[in-house]
Structure 1
Amino acid sequence: KRWPFLEAGSFRYAYFSTEGGALHCRKIASGLAKWLRANGANVYENSKVVEVDAEAGHIVLESGETMQADRIVVAAGAWVLKLFPELDGELKTYRTALAYVEPPADLKAAWQAAPVVLDVGGAIDGYVIPPSGGAGMKFGSGLHRVPTSDADWNRQPVAGEGEAIRNLFSPPIARIAEYRVTEVVTCAYT
């Protein structure tokens, strides 16, 4: 009754905690950039680095410009192997996607009050993030990831990809076909 979007009898147990919640990466990144600037750091957003000499504190930008620094913080995400190929073997890059969905009208209020679902159980390796922080509701699944050697590979969603991701969640999510896919976002991560 508390969460009518769950299909009764499709799971054995659930754990609920009032602590925690969704992390919103754009808000975190912009907040970090603001904090760094306020504390005297030079932040160069949207500056693609193509070479790093960590020992010498030297970088080369895609434009050919070079920079020297006392310290370099690399926040390259899935592109880190392009800068440090020697980490291949320790780190692997994956392409995945997540589906933003609009829940059925009669379940919207329940989802607004719902916690993040870290793992829906079973073989799905899936998570659900209810609408929060101005972002829509999303489904993501580890079953949908594909290993790649290039973080820029296959970054456009393909037809039906959002529905394929969404459909992995039934059960335990009831009435899954009624969740309208509004957007599909691809991601690359290590």
Structure 2
Amino acid sequence: MMGCGRAARQPEIPTLARLDALATALPLTQNPPPPPFDRPQTGFANVDEGLTALEGWRYVVQLEFDGVFARTPRQTRASARAEVWYNQLATARRVLVSTEGELIGQAENVRYEAVRLGPDAFLVREGVCLSGGSASRDAALAADLRAGDLVGGVTNATPTGRSAVINGEPVWQYDFTADDLRVPSIALADGGQVIFESGELWIAPRARAVVRF
């Protein structure tokens, strides 16, 4: 039978790697970002740092909490979402905020919209535009709300060499530890601690801004 012998020499399996090819063996996704972003980054303690230098952008901040009240078996869940738009040409900023569950002492769900047009700020709750007195101060605070105020950022981030394209922008991944996290919205007490499992930080060197956190 023909299957009992080898009519011709077959190539060795697996194929042996050539030393001169090892330098290019890594996929293109394992390349360092361009300078100066090829070094550890310390300028994103506020995750939205650098965005005001861009002509326009939009981002979404999402917080999810699932836990129990201290010293009780009572469970609680809460979430908060903020969408922020910015237009440099019009000097305009728009913020939509919504919360659900027992969050930051709020007994009821909250939803409001704040807009800044130049020096003026406006606040809309339940379809009513509020102005004057404390409403003007609240409008200014709400319209200037930043992602860094909610989720903080990373004080030290190291490039991993992994690259991708997110929202049409070339980005690179950065690694960080629990000690590098700055989370202003979490206040620990009574021996509380933050257990950090994993995280991702993606920076767009061309925009000098964080694209995903």
Shorter-chain-normalised TM-score: which range? under 0.3
Compare relative contact order (CA 8 Å, sep 6+) and give the higher one, 1 or 2.
1
Structure with greater Cα Rg: 2
Greater share of strand residues, 1 or 2?
2
Greater share of helix residues, 1 or 2?
1
TM-score by length of 1: 0.26
